[in-house]
Amino acid sequence: MPQPAPPQPPSRPAPGTRGTPALAVADAAATPAAAVLAALGSSPGGLPETEAARRLAEVGPNAVRSHQAGGWSVLGRQFRSPILVLLLLTAGLSLFLGDTTNAVVIGVILFVSVGLGFGNEFRAERAAEALHSRVTHRAVVFRGGTARELDVTALVPGDVVQLGLGAVIPADLRLLTAKDLLCDESILTGESLPVPKDPAPVSGGAALGDLTSCLFMGTVIQAGSCTGVVVATGGRAEFGRIALGLGERQPQTEFQLGLKRFSFLLLQVAVGLTSLIFVANLLLQRPVLESLLFSLAIAVGITPQLLPAVVSTSLATGTRQLAKRRVLVKRLVCIEDLGDLDILVTDKTGTLTEGRISFTAALPVGDGATAEDVFRLGLLATEADYAEARRSVVGQNPLDAALWASPGAAGFEPGRYERLDVIDFDHQRRRTSVLVRDGGGPARIITKGSPEDVLKLCAPVTAAVRALLDEQFDAGSRVVAVAARDAAGMTDMGPADERDLLLAGFLVFLDKPKANARESLDRLEALGITVKIATGDNAKVAERVCDEIGVLSGGTLTGAEVDALSDPELGAAAREASIFARVSPEQKARIIRLLRQSGGAVGFMGDGVNDALALHHADIGISVDSATDVAKDAADVVLLDKDLGVLADGVMEGRRIFANTIKYVLMGTSSNFGNMFSAATASVVLSFLPMLPGQILLNNLLYDTGQLAIPGDRVDKEQLLAPAHWNIGFIRRFMLLFGPISSLFDFATFALMLLVFNAAPGEFRAGWFIESIATQTLIIFAIRTRRVPFLRSRPSAGLLCASLGVVAAGVFLPLSPLAGVLGFDPLPVPFFLALLGMTVVYLVLVELAKQWFFSQVAQQPAVPALRRVRRRGKDHRVARRAARFSTPDATARHGRRGPLTPRRGRQSRSRRNRVQGPSRPRNS
């Protein structure tokens, strides 16, 4: 039945702007393409530069995120730690109960922790902001009739863009032209099957999923190519509304989850111990207020208060180091996750090879064919417009770009040829086909692609042709087959027409191995990282490259062999194999998933469209600045130089940070637990409090301040040779061994003060204060290494000076003029001699206990157990995809405010829920 003519919308300014035309995407979908261009004041050649600049100034950048370092947001994050929340509540309660001294001391601790955390994290975010600005996402845009590449944030309504396979749609578009176009819209609708797209208008009132004449920001072209006109940008686009509804939050990493579990472990210990102390003191008929304040001091004292500051300092240090090595980590905590890496799967192009593909030869094999004929057929079988391709290689795949950049392309005459139809390359067919007419003659079908796939469509070839092909593969060359047949009378074609071809010859390309590839692989091997190669190339080519750089292969699996194996069989085979050749995107993702399930943390390094699935499935996705949009969006880490040596630097930095963080955790939990257990026991046995609440907090403040030098400490080489993970059981066992050892010497100090020196309460507290500071501060030199301290493992100068300075301050305070204010009485000189002897015995006992502890089987590095497969939800995917539409200007990231730009709140969330609801059936 004939459809009524769609309305012709008038050109009108966008709400909130002076003169930029606007058009709702649903209206654009129901309107003919020419009318949409007219309504937006544009043309097939795009906008003039001056008009585009005017519109950008009016509507703002095409962005939904900002990567500007925000001081207030960084400050707010400092108070998300359960430890700092406990401190804040304790300070408020102490102030309410009239204990000003405790409140002031806790306030100082809060100020130091929050201040240091804020300063370090803000500096790190500023460094990340600078690096983020260097990673650009670009699109091919027509301005004034000329194609050029622009940053996606510079797009405005009315811009005409050209998109191909694997492109992330940069804005809401109305299609102008399309060829075999399929689009993955799962990020919007949740539907996994690709959607066919066509410029034909749809009926009015169609649902979002049925707007087949439009493409939506954030979705991905899975097959085909197109041009389209921008209808909506930034927060006015459908994806932009969803991204704004999510805010700026990001999913938590494994490191963050481990830190949270550790924090809750400490809270459980603190709550249990303080409750027992409070009840015991009440049963002993101690004053309620004094008992409560002492219990709160114990709760604060058992927690490593400056843990957030130590972590942020470590991350800030790591960020600055990685920035010098041109590594962009999308989130700071991903540095820690990078250190977990123990299996790396990577493509060979640009990592093992130079990544500069050059055309070397055309080898004819057909009857009467010449090298010039094969070369010309190779040029014709490209997706780009012939005239544009000769002038610029922008937007072309590397092999086509190398072909057009070769000297022979200068003599090609694009005006002679009329291309009637084209079937774009995809990763299932692995070939491109064109229907071309030469000088008005009969049409021909020309197919170019992987030799294995093209030869299947040709008549059987001779053994000599097979030998020629094998010779090129054995030499490590990349080979593309070219075949053709007559197609007189045809004006269009489909994949079914790719048949009965005659092989014309082969195009040979070369990508030389990197000079430093062997060195980089040796560094990764020294870090305990197993490197595996996953490539779309022929198996012989991959094996040849690995052989040239001296890589010992554990075997090769081809894509066909991967499909033939069950999951358990492939999981076992993948652990042994070193090369996966001729693998599809789905096969790469399956291999990554099974490697993760077999244990260990798996990283994937890729830069192509076919790498996106694997990047999403990996524990750590790694890409490069020159990668395709989809690959950069899916990655956690972006290398500004595609070099495995740079990646090794990042892994070492991640492991160094984690090792220093764990040093603080182990020291803090063992020493604090021992001291607080001693205080709790003494408070029940003695007739007075062993240490006043303010003295406990001052003790912890001095101790923790000295530990702020830990992030810059040296790390033993063996701690960098394998990844380390959060192990709450290990931390608990460490605490339960070394905590009681600390308590044992506390009790010895109590006996010394009471039985030898007959100490009064003020002397007792001064003596234990000094002993506690000395033992728990100096123990760092034993705990920081599994080696013999000082002799085989030297601490950094900063840590040495900080620790000795804290001990000096701890000895000085009870002897200073502040002693009376702090509640201390003078101590006899013999006490210090006894203290020196006890400290030496304590450190020796700790060293012996350490050697025994780490010799036990339970503490040995275990074979990685079956890991929980990380499941990334829709919010994670939206947040990752939204990162490409980012501007350093936080005030402009959503464009100029207007009715089409939702404010955060109920309306935005409602819209988001409606868009993400159950998908409706589509019109194909």
Q: Which residues have a catalytic role annotated? A: 347
Q: Residue 879's CB: how many other CB atoms inside 10 A?
A: 20
Rounded CA gap, 82 and 114, in Å? 13
Rounded CA gap, 153 and 888, in Å? 11
Question: Could you tell me if 120 and 313 are in contact, meaning their C-beta atoms sit under 8 angstroms apart?
Answer: yes
What's 780-830 look like in SS3? HHHHCCCCCECCCECCCHHHHHHHHHHHHHHHHHHHCCCHHHHCCCCCCHH
Among residues 453, 396, 424, 454, the alpha carbon closest in space to that of 223 is found at 424
Q: What angle is formed at CA 316 by the lines to CA 315 and CA 322, rounded to 5 degrees?
A: 85
Rounded CA gap, 805 and 778, in Å? 11
Rounded CA gap, 375 and 408, in Å? 8
Q: What angle is formed at CA 615 by the lines to CA 613 and CA 617, rounded to 5 degrees?
A: 70
Q: What angle is formed at CA 539 by the lines to CA 358 and CA 495, rounded to 5 degrees?
A: 75
Q: In this structure, what DSSP letter does residue 604 have?
A: E
Rounded CA gap, 251 and 883, in Å? 13
Q: Are strands 601-605 and 620-624 parallel, antiparallel or unpaired?
A: parallel
Question: Could you tell me if 719 and 823 are in contact, meaning their C-beta atoms sit under 8 angstroms apart?
Answer: no
E strands in 811-920:
886-887
DSSP per-residue codes, 188-200: HH---S-EE--SS
3-state secondary structure of 838: helix
**Amino acid, single-letter form, for residue 530:** T
Question: Could you tell me if 347 and 646 are in contact, meaning their C-beta atoms sit under 8 angstroms apart?
Answer: no
Name every residue whose Cβ is closer than 8 Å to that of residue 236 and which is 6 or more positions away in sequence: 172, 895, 900, 901
Range 675-712 burial, b when 16+ CB lie within 10 A, else e: bbbbbbbbbeeeeebbbbbbbbbbbbbbbbbbbbbbbe
3-state secondary structure of 184: strand
Question: Could you tell me if 365 and 505 are in contact, meaning their C-beta atoms sit under 8 angstroms apart?
Answer: yes
Q: If 0-12 CB within 10 Å is exposed, 13-18 middle and 19+ buried, where does residue 336 land? A: buried
3-state secondary structure of 580: strand
Q: In this structure, what DSSP letter does residue 756 have?
A: I
Output helix, strand, coil percentages for the chain, rounded to the nearest 5: 50, 15, 35
Cα 273 off chain centre by: 39
DSSP per-residue codes, 393-451: -TT--HHHHHHHHSGGGGG--GGGEEEEEEE---TTT-EEEEEEEETT--EEEEEEE-H
Dihedral sign, CA of 238, 244, 246, 250?
positive
Among residues 906, 897, 909, the alpha carbon closest in space to that of 236 is found at 897
Among residues 436, 493, 388, 47, the alpha carbon closest in space to that of 230 is found at 47
Among residues 660, 705, 701, 732, the alpha carbon closest in space to that of 315 is found at 660
Rounded CA gap, 132 and 722, in Å? 29
Please report, to the nearest 10 degrees, the dihedral formed by the alpha carbons of residues 618, 624, 625, 629 taken in order. -40
